[in-house]
């Protein structure tokens, strides 16, 4: 049963000393809840990501979307029609910085009410960060929607994945070609990792976001129960 939520921005700190903020959504009823990190697209912690964070909280989770561009522009939000500005911020973020921010956000959840279990979900750029979180933070499960840059950037570290993965791809994704999705599954399989892979054959990149032209209502509707089942199994 869905519940009312409360949401606000909170202050976070990464192990490298960087201070940043995150959008927090929590169930309105007092209680102890598992935590889920929500990693933004290349366009920041925008309305779509905040809505997803609140949807997750409605399902009984403490959900936190950290601002991953804080080193170049605090709480920046970009337009889906202007990818060049997003790329200007994206190119400035390093894997080491992302790892530190993921660890800081995970620690915050664990210290502020997450009931012993934290998961991660991310979209686009955030899908890569969710994959990364399964290597560098104590998350128990990670879900990646069309994670750009997983291949080839992170596959050399597939042996470091320690959490089950749920990977969503779009069969018509012009940004992530089939050879990259195959390379991802091949690397995980070779490393003996637990993962579930779902491809929506007619969906493109960004199919879960209702504010993008590539939004695919059917793929978005069908993927959501899988996400909830995945986290329900591993976090509860």
Q: What is the pLDDT of residues 70-82, one digit of tens each?
A: 999 999 999 999 9
CATH of the domain at 102: 3.40.50.1820
Mean pLDDT of all residues in 11-29: 96
Identify the three-state secondary structure at position 45: coil
* Cβ partners under 8 Å of residue 158, min gap 6: 187, 188, 190, 191, 193
d(Cα 175, Cα 178) in Å, to the nearest integer?
10
- C-beta of residue 164 within 8 angstroms of C-beta of residue 146: no
d(Cα 103, Cα 207) in Å, to the nearest integer?
28
d(Cα 46, Cα 61) in Å, to the nearest integer?
20
Mean pLDDT of all residues in 28-53: 96
- C-beta of residue 154 within 8 angstroms of C-beta of residue 130: no
Task: Identify the pLDDT of residue 33.
Answer: 95
Mean pLDDT of all residues in 120-131: 98
Q: What is the pTM of this model?
A: 0.97
Identify the three-state secondary structure at position 201: coil
1: pLDDT strictly greater than 60: no
d(Cα 166, Cα 195) in Å, to the nearest integer?
6
CA atoms within 13 A on the CB side of 67: 23
191: pLDDT strictly greater than 80: yes
Q: Mean pLDDT score of the chain, rounded to an integer?
A: 96
- Structural domain of 218: 5-235
10: pLDDT strictly greater than 90: yes
d(Cα 149, Cα 129) in Å, to the nearest integer?
9
d(Cα 19, Cα 28) in Å, to the nearest integer?
27
CA atoms within 13 A on the CB side of 154: 27
Q: What is residue 41's DSSP assignment?
A: B
Task: Identify the pLDDT of residue 31.
Answer: 87
Binned at pLDDT 50, 70 and 90, residue 87 comes out as: very high
Query: pLDDT, tens digit, for every residue of 128-166?
Result: 999 999 999 999 999 999 999 999 999 999 999 999 999
H or E segment and range at residue 121: strand 114-123
d(Cα 201, Cα 198) in Å, to the nearest integer?
9
Please count the structural domains in the chain. Answer: 1
């Amino acid at each position: 049963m869905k519940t009312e939520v409360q949401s606000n921005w909170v202050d976070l700190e990464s192990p490298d000393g960087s201070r940043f903020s995150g959008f927090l959504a929590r169930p309105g009823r007092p209680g102890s809840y598992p935590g889920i990190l929500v990693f933004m697209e290349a366009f920041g912690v925008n309305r779509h990501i905040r809505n997803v964070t609140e949807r997750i909280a409605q399902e009984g989770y403490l959900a936190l979307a950290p601002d991953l561009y804080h080193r170049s522009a605090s709480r920046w939000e970009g337009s889906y029609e202007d990818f060049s500005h997003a790329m200007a911020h994206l190119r400035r973020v390093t894997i080491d910085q992302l790892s530190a921010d993921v660890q800081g956000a995970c620690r915050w959840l664990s210290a502020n009410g997450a009931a012993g279990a934290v998961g991660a979900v991310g979209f686009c750029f955030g899908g890569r960060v969710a994959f990364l979180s399964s290597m560098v933070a104590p998350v128990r499960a990670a879900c990646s929607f069309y994670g750009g840059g997983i291949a080839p950037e992170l596959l050399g570290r597939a042996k470091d994945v320690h959490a089950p993965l749920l990977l969503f791809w779009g069969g018509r994704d012009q940004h992530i070609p089939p050879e990259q999705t195959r390379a991802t599954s091949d690397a995980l399989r070779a490393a003996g990792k637990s993962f579930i892979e779902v491809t929506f054959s007619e969906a493109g990149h960004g199919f879960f976001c209702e504010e993008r032209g590539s939004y695919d209502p059917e793929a978005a509707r069908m993927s959501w129960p899988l996400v909830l089942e995945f986290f329900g199994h591993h976090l509860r």
